[in-house]
């Protein structure tokens, strides 16, 4: 709600009121109201008595929405309370771009319009991130996921719209006809074809609402604004669009706790949809343009969603009552709208029209099959998943098969590596191991190697009893009887995780929902310290067993021969003898990505300066996070910088480093086991902490080294590293005690024994 109110505050207008309708909320929001006192807030609380009589349509809806009056009632109460000349509805989880209201107002005044609508963009980002995006891209609409698709629908030309308007408004004068045609045409075009006839982003003249007695139908929960919109469109003498006004609609990326209305899944959404559609259709009867808009919307919902439900043999209702409902509604549809659809879609509409259920089912299934085949041709992973779901899953689970995966098969590393090596060494022959690895890597003890998403990968996922993963498993993996899933995770968290993050800004808005689903499969979760255990419980909503024994991946740092091992690694990496090494291992940035799991990274550390100042004594090991797709160019610096981004195991790199530089990566929790100096190069601290992620620690107070913001500070710190170590001695010890004291070289053993039931 803060984002919403802040966006109102930034509109640059003064003569307005904010009617805040509270639908039986339980939180105390007095602080927020006080903070935004200058936007003239008028609180309206919905009637507690009325809620008892609230009808939800079904028991299921009642479960979801109990204790609320619903969005329709809230909006109606808002209208009653509003005193201004215009009304603009803004849902408390959405916000508007700066200047939106003034743009709409200007348009309404200039056109003497009954209502004016703007554009609507959808996003899952919070406002500051969105605005930063808008600024960065020099794009005044911030068109992330823009709803718009300005292609002229075939079969629906401007002349046709004009013709129909003159039918709907007999006697309309030429100028008005031109205006209306423009308005309708824009409405149709600017909303993804005819799709989104919705109230969001519309400024309405209040006298227009009042004189027509327009209110929302409180019986509806999800599709309450359709009838309202249709009546508005039908009754308006003129309406128009303000291009620059942008309503930003936010999807919720925590649909588990806070689903948006559109994300609530209840069984009878369909019935409500149909009822709301047919009511709206009746209201639009005399207006052919509106009928077409509605019909198009309906057909689209049918071909995109409903048709599939009929074909899936899951719910009998779809083939009986719902099929009948669809058949009846389809009879009313304007034949020329059906003409807007092509090929397969047109055919299934005709099947419904003629009531041929079996033919329809066959056609849909056939089409889905073809689509899958085409996908398989393009991507093997679809085939792998298909085989997993249909065949491999039917083969028996093998009791001694273990599948290990670290960082999505990008390396042989991390805790799975150390648990695996412990098992191989101490229980030879007891297990058969499968390692997921996407490159040619030598792995000791000769496991079976498979590539992630290959057919063999799917095969072993289905057949292994044990899973040892340090990241999440693919979405399609299910838990089979007997499966034991050991999730080692990959770091003590500084950055907030999943459900502890206010908003997730990764590439997928469904992140929280997916994470929830995936983590339900885990049986054991490894944690390096008490702090992590507590975080994992809240961030992952994890309630099964936690193995709090330290990190298996840190065992190496307690190896009796660690100095000899380090010398070998240093030689292997050709680091000149006598030179000290600095490991620079930054993390990734949530908002800088090419696509899912592929992130950008621009190096902010001035390596040339570092070489000039420190080149005689030091070499730099440059290590990007495993998500980073960019290959950093170090040409010309080969004598000073070794790019170790492709090196498998970062623990081995810790061993050979005299100093660690990082930013917000969890690497410092592990590195602290060595008690060597750590520097934090946090050039984008404010953005990262306050906008992107949020932290569990107070980084300015709790970490065992200084925060540095410029290259010069980094150079100075390295030159004075002994002074810094002395200064941080006490803090370092405290930090070690809290985060590293469980590590003692035995974690792999402890974890393995517990999970694999070993003596
Ligand atoms: N890592 C690495 N090189 C880097 C950064 C990270 O090898 N330059 C490895 C380390 O093992 C590190 C792990 O990846 O511990 C996780 O990296 P983070 O930077 O902490 O980021 P993230 O993958 O988002 O994990 O609970 C921990 C969090 O999940 C963070």
Q: What is the pLDDT of residues 241-268, one digit of tens each?
A: 888 899 998 888 788 887 888 778 777 7
Beta bridge partners of 708: 681
pLDDT over 80 (residue 151): no
In the chain, how long is the greatest CA-to-CA distance?
95
Helices (H), 191-255: 206-211, 225-235
Q: Are 435 and 449 in contact (CB under 8 A)?
A: yes
Which range among 26-30, 151-155, 389-393, 430-434 shows the weakest confidence by mean pLDDT? 151-155
| CA-based torsion, 565, 571, 573, 576: positive or negative | positive
pLDDT in tens, 641-676: 999 999 999 999 999 999 999 999 999 999 999 999
DSSP state of 688: I
Same domain, 434 and 456: yes
DSSP state of 302: I
Pairing verdict, β 484-487 and 678-681: unpaired
Based on the number of CB atoms within 10 Å of its own CB, is 524 exposed (0-12), middle (13-18) or buried (19 or more)? middle
| CB neighbour list of residue 211: distance below 8 Å, 6 or more residues apart | none
Instruction: For residue 585, report the distance from its CA to the centre of ligand 1, in Å.
Output: 9
Residue 30 lies in a domain: yes
pLDDT over 80 (residue 693): yes
> In the predicted model, what is the mean pLDDT of residues 172-198?
67
Same domain, 428 and 519: yes
Stronger pLDDT, 493 or 694, i.e. the higher one: 493
Instruction: For residue 404, report the distance from its CA to the centre of ligand 1, in Å.
Output: 18
pLDDT value for 239: 84
pLDDT value for 584: 98
Same domain, 63 and 92: yes
> In the predicted model, what is the mean pLDDT of residues 5-27?
93
Residue 197 lies in a domain: yes
pLDDT over 60 (residue 154): no
pLDDT value for 139: 55
Atom of ligand 1 nearest to the CA of 586: 8
pLDDT value for 256: 81
- Retrieve residue 206's tokens: 């209040």
CATH of the domain at 450: 3.40.50.11820
> In the predicted model, what is the mean pLDDT of residues 198-225?
91
Same domain, 73 and 222: yes
Stronger pLDDT, 178 or 597, i.e. the higher one: 178
pLDDT in tens, 464-522: 999 999 999 999 999 999 999 999 999 999 999 999 987 776 656 678 889 999 999 99
Same domain, 437 and 310: no
Residue 546 lies in a domain: yes
CA distance 74 to 44: 9
Residue bearing tokens 């709600």:
1
Helices (H), 409-490: 414-426, 455-463
Highest mean pLDDT among 289-303, 371-385, 456-470: 456-470
- Retrieve residue 119's tokens: 């554009």
pLDDT value for 286: 83
pLDDT value for 57: 66
Helices (H), 10-89: 30-35, 59-65, 71-81
pLDDT over 50 (residue 50): yes
- Retrieve residue 269's tokens: 């959404």
pLDDT in tens, 725-742: 999 999 999 999 999 999
**Listed residue (484, 469, 314, 460) closest to 388, CA to CA:** 460
Instruction: For residue 572, report the distance from its CA to the centre of ligand 1, in Å.
Output: 24
CATH of the domain at 671: 3.40.50.12580
Q: Mean pLDDT in the chain?
A: 89
pLDDT over 70 (residue 166): yes
Atom of ligand 1 nearest to the CA of 414: 11
| Domain final position from 336, 359, 378 | 378
> In the predicted model, what is the mean pLDDT of residues 559-571?
96
Residue 171 lies in a domain: no
pLDDT in tens, 610-641: 999 999 999 999 999 999 888 888 888 999 99
pLDDT value for 196: 55
DSSP 578-618: T-EEEEE-----TT-EEETTEE-----S-HHHHHHHHTTTE
Same domain, 498 and 587: no
Same domain, 26 and 90: yes
Atom of ligand 1 nearest to the CA of 493: 26
Atom of ligand 1 nearest to the CA of 628: 8
Instruction: For residue 185, report the distance from its CA to the centre of ligand 1, in Å.
Output: 51
Beta bridge partners of 121: 146, 248
Quick one: which H or E segment has residue 383?
helix 380-390
pLDDT value for 677: 98
Same domain, 334 and 346: yes
Q: Are 234 and 290 in contact (CB under 8 A)?
A: yes
pLDDT value for 314: 67
**Listed residue (12, 57, 65, 74) closest to 39, CA to CA:** 12
- Retrieve residue 434's tokens: 């499968």
Q: Cα 468 from chain centroid?
A: 26
Pairing verdict, β 202-205 and 115-123: antiparallel
pLDDT over 50 (residue 719): yes
pLDDT over 80 (residue 703): yes
Residue 172 lies in a domain: no
pLDDT in tens, 82-121: 999 999 999 999 999 999 999 999 999 998 999 998 888 8
**Listed residue (348, 365, 371, 262) closest to 299, CA to CA:** 348
Probe ligand 1: pick from 536, 556, 666, max atoms within 8 Å of CB?
666
| CA-based torsion, 638, 641, 645, 649: positive or negative | positive
Quick one: which H or E segment has residue 746?
none
CATH of the domain at 95: 3.90.550.10
Residue 195: band (very low, low, confident or very high) from pLDDT cuts 50, 70, 90: very low
pLDDT in tens, 525-548: 999 999 999 999 999 999 999 999
- Retrieve residue 532's tokens: 């992590």
| Domain final position from 286, 317, 334 | 286
Q: Which domain holds residue 245?
A: 2-151+191-286
Residue nearest atom 19 of ligand 1, based on CA coordinates: 665
Number of domains the chain contains: 4
Residue 173 lies in a domain: no
Ligand 1 interacting residues, C-beta cut-off 6 A:
414, 490-491, 493, 495, 497, 585-587, 623-626, 650, 665-667
Q: Are 642 and 626 in contact (CB under 8 A)?
A: no
Residue 340: band (very low, low, confident or very high) from pLDDT cuts 50, 70, 90: confident
Same domain, 362 and 402: no
Task: Report the percentage of the chain scoring pLDDT > 70.
Answer: 94
Instruction: For residue 46, report the distance from its CA to the centre of ligand 1, in Å.
Output: 48
Instruction: For residue 667, report the distance from its CA to the centre of ligand 1, in Å.
Output: 6
| Domain final position from 263, 286, 309 | 286
Residue 163 lies in a domain: no
Atom of ligand 1 nearest to the CA of 587: 19
CA distance 532 to 329: 56
Residue 729 lies in a domain: yes
**Helix 225-235 vs helix 269-283: angle between axes, to the nearest 10 degrees?**
10
> In the predicted model, what is the mean pLDDT of residues 209-213?
94
Based on the number of CB atoms within 10 Å of its own CB, is 586 exposed (0-12), middle (13-18) or buried (19 or more)? buried
pLDDT over 50 (residue 149): no
Give the global pTM: 0.79
Residue nearest atom 4 of ligand 1, based on CA coordinates: 625
pLDDT value for 507: 55
| Length of the chain in terms of residues written | 759
Same domain, 511 and 616: no
Same domain, 568 and 484: no
pLDDT in tens, 173-184: 888 788 778 777
Same domain, 312 and 256: no
pLDDT value for 607: 95
């Amino acid at each position: 709600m803060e984002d919403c109110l802040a966006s109102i505050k930034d509109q640059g207008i003064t003569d307005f009121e904010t009617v805040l309708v509270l639908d039986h909320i339980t939180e105390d929001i007095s602080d927020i109201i006080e903070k935004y006192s200058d936007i003239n807030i008028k609180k309206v609380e919905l009637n507690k008595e009325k809620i008892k009589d609230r009808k939800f349509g079904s028991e299921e809806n009642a479960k979801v929405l109990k204790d609320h009056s619903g969005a329709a009632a809230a909006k109606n109460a808002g209208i009653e309370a509003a005193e201004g000349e215009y009304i603009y509805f803004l849902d408390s989880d959405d916000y508007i771009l700066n200047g939106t209201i003034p743009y709409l107002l200007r348009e309404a005044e200039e056109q003497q319009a009954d209502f004016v609508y703007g554009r609507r963009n959808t996003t899952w980002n919070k406002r500051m991130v969105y605005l930063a995006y808008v600024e960065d891209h020099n794009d005044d609409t911030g068109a992330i996921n823009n709803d718009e698709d300005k292609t002229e629908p075939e079969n629906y030309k401007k002349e046709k719209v004009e013709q129909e308007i003159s039918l709907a408004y007999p006697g309309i004068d030429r100028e008005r006809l031109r205006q209306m045609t423009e308005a309708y045409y824009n409405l149709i075009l600017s909303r993804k074809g005819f799709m989104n006839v919705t109230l969001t982003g519309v400024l309405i003249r209040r006298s227009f609402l009042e004189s027509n007695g327009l209110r929302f139908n409180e019986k509806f929960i999800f599709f309450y604004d359709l009838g309202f919109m249709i009546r508005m469109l039908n009754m308006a003498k003129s309406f128009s669009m303000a291009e620059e006004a942008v309503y930003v609609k936010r999807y919720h990326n925590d649909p588990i706790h806070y689903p948006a209305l559109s994300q609530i899944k209840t069984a009878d959404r369909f019935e409500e949809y149909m009822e709301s559609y047919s009511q709206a259709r009746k209201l639009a009867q005399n207006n052919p343009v509106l009928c077409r808009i509605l019909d198009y919307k309906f057909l689209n919902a049918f071909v995109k969603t409903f048709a599939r439900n009929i074909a899936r043999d899951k719910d009998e209702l779809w083939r009986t009552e719902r099929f009948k409902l669809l058949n009846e509604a389809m009879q009313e549809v304007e034949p020329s709208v059906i003409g807007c659809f092509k090929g397969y879609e047109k055919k299934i509409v005709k099947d419904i029209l003629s009531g041929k259920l079996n033919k329809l089912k066959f056609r849909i299934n056939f089409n889905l099959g073809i689509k899958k085949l085409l996908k398989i041709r393009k991507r093997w992973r679809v085939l792998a998943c298909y085989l997993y779901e249909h065949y491999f899953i039917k083969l028996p689970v093998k009791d001694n098969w273990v599948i290990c995966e670290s960082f999505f098969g990008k390396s042989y590393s991390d805790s799975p590596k150390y648990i695996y090596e412990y098992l191989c060494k101490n229980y030879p022959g007891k297990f058969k191991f499968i390692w997921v690895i996407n490159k040619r890597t030598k792995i000791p003890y000769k496991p079976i190697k498979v590539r992630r998403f290959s057919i063999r990968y799917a095969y072993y996922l289905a057949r292994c009893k044990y899973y040892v993963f340090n990241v999440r498993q693919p979405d399609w993996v299910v838990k089979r009887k007997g499966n034991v899933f050991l999730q080692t995770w990959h770091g003590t968290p500084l950055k907030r995780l999943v459900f502890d993050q206010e908003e997730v800004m990764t590439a997928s808005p469904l992140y929280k929902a997916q994470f929830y689903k995936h983590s339900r499969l885990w049986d054991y979760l490894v944690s390096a310290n008490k702090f992590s255990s507590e975080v994992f419980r809240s961030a992952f909503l994890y309630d099964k067993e936690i193995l709090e024994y330290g990190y298996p991946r840190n065992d190496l740092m307690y190896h009796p021969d660690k100095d000899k091992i380090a010398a070998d690694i240093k030689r292997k990496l050709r680091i000149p003898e006598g030179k000290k090494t600095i490991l620079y291992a930054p993390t990734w940035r949530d908002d800088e990505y090419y696509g899912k799991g592929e992130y950008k990274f621009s190096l902010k550390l001035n390596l040339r300066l570092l070489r000039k100042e420190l080149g005689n004594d030091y070499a730099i090991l440059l290590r990007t996070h495993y998500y980073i797709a960019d290959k950093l160019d170090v040409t010309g610096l080969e004598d000073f910088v070794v790019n170790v981004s492709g090196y498998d195991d970062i623990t081995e790199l810790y061993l050979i480093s005299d100093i660690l530089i990082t930013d917000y990566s969890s690497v410092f929790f592990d590195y602290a086991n060595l008690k060597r100096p750590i520097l934090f190069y946090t050039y984008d601290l404010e953005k990262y902490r306050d906008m992107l992620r949020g932290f569990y620690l107070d980084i300015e107070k709790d970490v065992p080294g200084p925060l540095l913001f410029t290259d010069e500070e980094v150079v100075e710190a390295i030159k004075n590293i002994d002074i810094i170590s002395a200064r941080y001695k006490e803090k370092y010890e405290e930090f070690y005690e809290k985060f590293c004291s469980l590590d003692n070289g035995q974690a792999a053993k402890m974890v393995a024994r517990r999970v694999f039931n070993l003596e």
